[in-house]
Amino acid sequence: MLKLYIGSKNYSSWSMRPWVLMRQAGIPFEEVKLRFDSFAPDSQLKRSIAEVSPAGKVPVLVDDGFAIWDTMAIAEYLAEQFPDKSLWPGDKRARARARSVCAEMHSGFAALRGHCPMNVEASLPQVGPLGYRDKPAVRADVDRIVAMWAELLRQHGGPMLFGEFSIADAFYAPICMRFRTYGMPVPPHAADYIGRVCALPGVKAWIDDALAERDFREFEEPYRLAR
């Protein structure tokens, strides 16, 4: 069976992508969760993940002893291993666009990531509007995302970005968590899409598990001193 190494569900946006993708698509796997104790080279997290991946980061997918790291590589591997799951859109151009927006998510939106780190359990509705108002780079990231969502939902008719659930929705699920946690001001089409993503069984399962962790990590909490 496939084995997926992930970090804390409350905080690890990178881990969320392949986990939600596999869970929502019905791909069986064994979860190995590593606590975010520290990112220092000698931390238990780093020592544990180094045993399976030279990159030393989560997530890592292991298939019969073969490790695949990096979320894009994992997604592509799963799409090839499970062609019947239609993880990418069937149309060639839609597939290329889906890969484009996933790559944009993978390498971009640094300002939003820095200002709004993923924190599923928290409710900080004052943070998002202030960041959107006062930080031009955050505002540019948010505006780009909501415009992208609007275009894709209009082109493909929803309910997901490319009609049916795909890798693209799994990649943007952590953004939905960020927008929700920090009360980011978004237009109705984006709020509706966030609601639909959060209602997906795979995403709901991740949220439920994140809420059950109850593991406050100070270095992941820029806006709170305690839970």
Q: Per-residue pLDDT for the chain (227 aa), expressed as one digit of tens each?
A: 999 999 999 999 999 999 999 999 999 999 999 988 777 778 888 888 888 988 889 999 999 999 999 999 999 999 999 999 999 999 999 999 999 999 999 999 999 999 999 999 999 999 999 999 999 999 999 999 999 999 999 999 999 999 999 999 999 999 999 999 999 999 999 999 999 999 999 999 999 999 999 999 988 899 998 87
**What 3 state SS string does the chain have?**
CEEEEECCCCCCHHHHHHHHHHHHHCCCEEEEECCCCCCCCCCHHHHHHHCCCCCCCCCEEEECCEEEECHHHHHHHHHHHCHHHCCCCCCHHHHHHHHHHHHHHHHCCHHHHHHCCCCCCCCCCCHHHHHHHHCHHHHHHHHHHHHHHHHHHHHHCCCECEEECCHHHHHHHHHHHHHHHCCCCCCHHHHHHHHHHHHCHHHHHHHHHHHHHCCCCHHHCCCCCCC
- Give the per-residue pLDDT at 49: 86
Q: What token pair was written down for 105? A: 């998510």
Q: What token pair was written down for 94? A: 């839609």
- Give the per-residue pLDDT at 39: 74
- Give the per-residue pLDDT at 47: 87
Q: Which of 177, 187, 2 is nearest to 77 (CA)?
A: 2
Q: Which of 66, 206, 51 is nearest to 74 (CA)?
A: 66
CB 124, CB 183: distance < 8 Å:
yes
Q: CA separation (Å) from 47 to 43, 57, 217?
A: 6, 10, 19
2-85 sits in which CATH class? alpha beta
Q: What CATH number does the domain located at 92-209 have?
A: 1.20.1050.10
C-alpha 175 chain-centroid distance: 7
pTM of the model: 0.96
> Rounded to an integer, what distance in angstroms lies between the CA atom of residue 106 and that of residue 142?
15
- Give the per-residue pLDDT at 44: 82
- Rg (C-alpha) for the chain, rounded Å, is 17
Q: Where are the domains of the chain?
A: 2-85, 92-209
- Give the per-residue pLDDT at 9: 97
